[in-house]
Amino acid sequence: MLPLNFTKNNFIIKYRIDHIVYTVFDLDAAIQFFTKKIGVTPIFGGYHKNQGTKNALINLSDECYLEILAIDNTNTSIKPPRWMGVDVLKKNQITRFALKSKALKKESKILKLYDSKMGIISNGLRQTSNGNILKWELTLPLPKPEVEIFPFLIDWSGSKTHPSLQLPQMDCKLIKFYGTHPNPKKFDRLFEMLDFSIQIKKDKKISLQMILDTPKGLVTL
């Protein structure tokens, strides 16, 4: 049974969204921005050596986190186009989000219905600053477009714990997550197949936005 005053849609969002990707031009500058904006300093996460990117993380509670992502300019072996829209970025913004999945093979087929280039399953591994090993499988996000309304999928079952549980509590929570798109209805059936939905408002611009409850109050990004 859902708690009082808690809609099914909010329940699905709260427990199905794994992480939200906020892509930036400069990771160090973004860490300073978030520290001032929300009163929490993001923690450097590490490098995606096979993708040419690096990140910092903010714990959003409920096994969900915000990933601040930027190009790793020291990695010259990975050439553009790189994933998550980093090479077509016009401004710092949310460009992707991931859903938790325990059925990647099955659900990857739904992604392919949306875009035949999506749904390719890959895996990754990295060591955290405290020496723990994180292992995951995911459907690879594409280099384009800049902002993708449809999610990618990730499975952390190869790790002992979800990565957010290795972060300190930061008193931040995801309150609302939504998008804008010229044709919101195109996502209805596919979201239904994933047993997931977010509000998508009709607008000329394609965007993903969120409201966070933070030590500095409610913040919209």
pLDDT of amino acid 12 = 42
Nearest residue to 66 (alpha-carbon basis) of 36, 101, 102, 30 = 30
Confidence of residue 129 (pLDDT cuts 50, 70, 90): low
Q: Which domains does the chain have, with CATH numbers?
A: 8-220 (3.10.180.10)
| CA–CA gap between residue 36 and residue 48 (Å, rounded) | 26
Q: Examine the pLDDT at 107 and tell me if it is beyond 50.
A: yes
How far, in Å, are 23, 73, 112, 132 from residue 129 at the CA level? Answer: 22, 21, 35, 7
pLDDT of amino acid 10 = 47
Triad 57, 125, 65: Cα angle to 5° = 20
Q: Examine the pLDDT at 15 and tell me if it is beyond 90.
A: no
pLDDT of amino acid 187 = 95
> Do 173 and 61 contact (CB within 8 A), yes or no?
yes
Residues 108/113/115/116 CA torsion (nearest 10 deg): 80
Q: Examine the pLDDT at 102 and tell me if it is beyond 70.
A: yes
How far, in Å, are 53, 167, 191 from residue 141 at the CA level? Answer: 13, 24, 17
Q: What's the pLDDT tens digit per position in 130-189? A: 677 788 999 999 999 999 999 999 999 888 888 899 899 999 999 999 999 999 999 999
Q: Examine the pLDDT at 4 and tell me if it is beyond 50.
A: no
| CA–CA gap between residue 185 and residue 124 (Å, rounded) | 34
Q: Examine the pLDDT at 203 and tell me if it is beyond 90.
A: yes
Q: What's the pLDDT tens digit per position in 31-81? A: 999 999 999 999 998 888 889 999 999 999 999 999 999 999 999 999 999
**pTM (two decimals):** 0.91
Q: Examine the pLDDT at 128 and tell me if it is beyond 80.
A: no
Residue 105 makes CB contacts below 8 A (sequence gap 6+) with 121
Q: Examine the pLDDT at 13 and tell me if it is beyond 70.
A: no
| CA–CA gap between residue 200 and residue 37 (Å, rounded) | 25
**Using CB atoms within 10 A of its CB, is residue 52 exposed (0-12), middle (13-18) or buried (19+)?**
buried
